Amino acid sequence: MTAKPPTVRRRRLAAELRRLRKAAELSHEEVTERTGISRTTLYRIESARVTPQPRTVIAILDTYRVGDADRSEILELAKGADTPGWLRPYHSDLREQLTAYIAFEAEASGVRNYQSLFIPGLLQTERYARAVIPGVWPSATTKDIDQHVQARMERQALLTKDDPLDFTVVIDEAALRRCVGGPAVMVEQMQRLQVVADQPHIDVQIIPYEVGAHPGMQGSFSLLSFPDADADEIVYIEGMARDVFLESEADISLYTDTFSALRALALSPDDSLSLIATAMQDLRRGEETA
């Protein structure tokens, strides 16, 4: 019998248990000595190959001296680890809103991202991020904005590390033309796009207005792929009320085909850079005539 691929929840559980073990500065051997759980079992748990029994999770959490807040979240993950799909509620707390996606993104080998209205977070300048976050989240406090901007800037290290993330992004022209934070902020953001688009592991394509209606108008999404051959791709959709993770074969196929269609409709990377330059010139002319 072929083993079922790990669900999103089981992958998330595995990632959290790895993180907690490293935070406790314990090796697999030390955990085995303290819990009696074999190294093979620990490896299988941390690589999402098996779902651990509740008593095993409790023993691990006790060994790592995990606090109540993290403990509750881990036990909840373990309870539904074999349930396909995942909805996460949208809260103001950064852990609740973004931690799951950020963890998957950090482990991914590649991300394909379509954005209809925003410059992708991994490519945003700090000034753009500071303008866009309160714009879409009117109730955000200064602390909320600072936390989210910091997280966004830290995530960008994935693009500059020794083995960088392969990042392919398709952006609707509307994201270039919407003047977030004012012309100066947008000019700086366009310059950032020009710089990153020159990197061999980053592809930036723009869908121009003249394309008209296209499949991406239904909303932005990300497709994450992983280096582990046993780990299937994940679709992530961020929403106002809920963040959605999709993992069924049908969903992956639908979004893969949609992304391929969007790339085919988009300008080539070189022509996309030309459109970015044009948008930047228009912003500068707007500044001069203001």
Domain extent for 145: 86-289
Residue that is last in its domain, among 79, 109, 129: 79
Of 156, 166, 256, nearest to 202 (Cα)? 166
Same domain, 180 and 214: yes
The model's pTM is 0.75
β-strand partners of 166: 110
Residues paired with residue 112 on neighbouring β-strands, in sequence order: 168, 223
Q: What is the C-alpha to C-alpha distance for residues 180 and 175, in angstroms, rounded to an integer? A: 9
On average, the pLDDT of the chain sits at 87
Whether residue 44 is contained in a domain is answered as yes
The reply to whether 190 falls in a domain is yes
At residue 44, the pLDDT reads: 86
Residue 289 to residue 51: CA distance in whole angstroms:
62
pLDDT greater than 60 at residue 93: no
- Whole-angstrom Cα distance, residue 226 to residue 246? 15
202, 135: one domain: yes
Region 268-289 average pLDDT: 90
98 located within any domain: yes
Kindly report the CATH number assigned to the domain that includes residue 65: 1.10.260.40
**Same domain membership, residue 130 and residue 52:** no
Task: Say if residue 167 is in the same domain as residue 259.
Answer: yes
The single residue listed with the structure tokens 């963890």 is: 103
- pLDDT at position 288 is 67
Average pLDDT over residues 216-231: 86
CATH of the domain at 188: 3.30.870
Residue 5, pLDDT > 60, answer no
Report CA dihedral (159, 164, 168, 169) to the nearest 10 degrees. -10
Structure confidence at residue 249 (pLDDT)? 87
Q: Quick check: is 160 in a domain?
A: yes
Same domain, 280 and 225: yes
Query: Where do the H-state alpha helices sit in the chain?
Result: 8-23, 28-35, 39-46, 54-63, 68-79, 94-107, 126-136, 142-155, 173-177, 183-196, 249-265, 269-289
Distance of CA 258 to the CA centre of its chain: 18
The count of other CB atoms within 10 Å of the CB of residue 227 is: 10
Total tally of structural domains belonging to the chain = 2
Q: What is the pLDDT of residue 128?
A: 98
User: Using H for helix, E for strand and C for coil, what is the string for 186-228?
Assistant: HHHHHHHHHHHCCCCCEEEEEECHHHCCCHHHHCCEEEEECCC
Residue 58 belongs to some domain of the structure: yes
Q: What is the mean pLDDT of residues 266-290?
A: 89
Shared domain for 163 and 284, answered yes or no, is yes
In terms of domains, do 179 and 109 share one? yes
In a domain, 3, yes or no: no
Please tell me whether residues 116 and 213 are part of one structural domain: yes
- Claim to verify: residue 160 and residue 258 sit in the same structural domain: yes
Distance separating alpha carbons of residues 36 and 24, to the nearest angstrom: 17
Phi-psi region of 87 (alpha: psi -120 to 50; beta: other; left: phi over 0): beta
> Are both 157 and 185 inside the same structural domain?
yes
Final residue in a domain of this structure, among 79, 96, 112: 79
C-alpha 59: how far from its chain's center?
31
> Is residue 2 one of the residues assigned to a domain?
no
Ranking 104-108, 159-163, 199-203, 230-234 by mean pLDDT, the lowest is 230-234
| Domain termination residue (choose one: 56, 79, 102) | 79
Same domain membership, residue 220 and residue 260: yes
Three-class secondary structure of residue 87 per DSSP: strand
Q: What is the pLDDT of residues 169-194, one digit of tens each?
A: 999 999 999 999 999 999 999 999 99
pLDDT digit string (tens) for 41-69? 998 888 777 888 889 999 999 999 998 88
Same domain for 190 and 206? yes
Give me the pLDDT at residue 90, please.
Answer: 41
pLDDT grade, residue 70 (50/70/90)? confident
Please say whether the beta carbons of 166 and 223 come within 8 A.
no
Kind of pairing between the strands at 221-225 and 234-238: antiparallel
Residues 95-153 have pLDDT tens digits of 444 677 887 888 889 999 999 999 999 999 999 999 999 999 999 999 999 999 999 99
